[in-house]
Amino acid sequence: MAHTLREHLADSPLPRLEAQLLWRQVLGVSRAWLIAHDTDPLDAAQEAAYRALETRRLAGEPMAYILGRREFWGRDFRVTPDVLIPRPDTEALVECGLQAIAGLPSPRVLDLGTGSGIVAVSIALDRPDARVRATDCSPAALAVAEMNARALGATLLFSLGNWYDTQLDSGRYDLIVSNPPYIDSQDLHLAQGDLRFEPRGALTDGADGLDALRCIVRGAADHLRPGGALCVEHGWDQAAAVRGLFQSEGFSDAASQRDLAGIERVTWGRLAA
Ligand SMILES: C[S@@+](CC[C@H](N)C(=O)[O-])C[C@H]1O[C@@H](n2cnc3c(N)ncnc32)[C@H](O)[C@@H]1O
């Protein structure tokens, strides 16, 4: 006998909200439709498609990978297992970058380690006069970033490479932004929760968590114009160490900004003019 959506939701081992999202994915409908039609009978193909998604979720796969998308800075981004799942914390990085170039006409921006492209695309769409280059060492991640730029109507330049060792633009940048891998390779969280499914190279630098940040901060002076800004995201306990790096590399006014949870999440500074 055919079951209804209401019966399925009542029986689901998943939290109701997750089950609803999976049903919306299977049926391709809005939340309002789902509520209005919850007594409609479901056919066998729909039930099988739902079961396949439910099984993945029960095995711990993140919702963002199952649904293939995640909202960031008010826009819907495609995500695949080739990229880090966008985190709300990273909105602090976008905010910091946009503040750093506020009032500057046609700024030149470099996003190092763009992943799904959330930072570069958000800045490019909020500042259409900016020239934004997005880089990554993962060709698969760059393909996702390109797909997001195209789908959201952002014009970006892309290059593949190891931090600054890639095709860059002639002239210097007004802003460099980066959310690099910053988890210590020994951190036990890497083997837990969503992190188990995310690309290891997006999470950890394979060292103490500050290796990529050191490389980015040390290289910045060669690529920023005098007075140009560097904004980086880092771990909850890394702000003091990152400010120290900034200070030793010619950023005398380094300061950290807090994310929505009140954690010092982003450090930024301007290169001495
Ligand atoms: C923490 S993820 C950030 C992705 C995206 N910017 C975001 O905020 O969601 C770090 C990104 O840096 C890239 N990455 C890691 N090592 C790199 C390297 N040596 N050179 C360039 N990119 C690198 C990873 O592939 C990954 O996409």
Res 120: pLDDT: 98
Model confidence over 135-144: pLDDT tens digits? Answer: 999 999 999 9
Q: Which residue, by CA, sits nearest to atom 24 of ligand 1? A: 202
Who wins on pLDDT, 199 or 40? Answer: 199
Res 3: pLDDT: 87
Alpha-carbon distance of 221 to 160, in angstroms, equals 21
Res 2: pLDDT: 72
Res 1: pLDDT: 65
With a 6 Å cutoff on the Cβ, whether 201 touches ligand 1 is yes
- As a three-state string, the secondary structure of 4-54 is EHHHHHHHCCCCHHHHHHHHHHHHCCCHHHHHHCCCCECCHHHHHHHHHHH
Closest-lying ligand 1 atom to the alpha carbon of residue 83: 27
| CATH 3.40.50.150 applies to domain 80-270 | yes
Res 254: pLDDT: 96
Alpha-carbon distance of 102 to 105, in angstroms, equals 8
Model confidence over 63-112: pLDDT tens digits? Answer: 999 999 999 999 999 999 999 999 999 999 999 999 999 999 999 999 99
H helix intervals, the chain: 5-11, 16-27, 31-36, 44-58, 63-67, 91-100, 118-126, 139-152, 200-203, 211-220, 239-248
**Structural contact between residues 57 and 25, judged by C-beta atoms closer than 8 angstroms:** no
Alpha-carbon distance of 30 to 150, in angstroms, equals 24
CA of 180 to the centre of ligand 1 (A): 5
With a 6 Å cutoff on the Cβ, whether 197 touches ligand 1 is no
Res 260: pLDDT: 84
Residue from 75, 119, 138 whose mutation best tests the ligand 1 pocket (most atoms within 8 A of CB): 138
- Per cent of the chain over pLDDT 90 is 92
Question: How many C-beta neighbours within 10 Å does residue 146 have?
Answer: 15
Res 155: pLDDT: 96
Query: pLDDT grade, residue 273 (50/70/90)?
Result: confident
Q: What is the distance between the terminal CA atoms of the chain, rounded to a whole angstrom?
A: 74
CA of 140 to the centre of ligand 1 (A): 11
With a 6 Å cutoff on the Cβ, whether 86 touches ligand 1 is yes
Model confidence over 42-70: pLDDT tens digits? Answer: 999 999 999 999 999 999 999 999 999 99
In this predicted structure, the answer to whether residue 252 has a pLDDT above a threshold of 90 is no
With a 6 Å cutoff on the Cβ, whether 90 touches ligand 1 is yes
CA of 57 to the centre of ligand 1 (A): 25
Q: What is the mean pLDDT of the chain?
A: 96
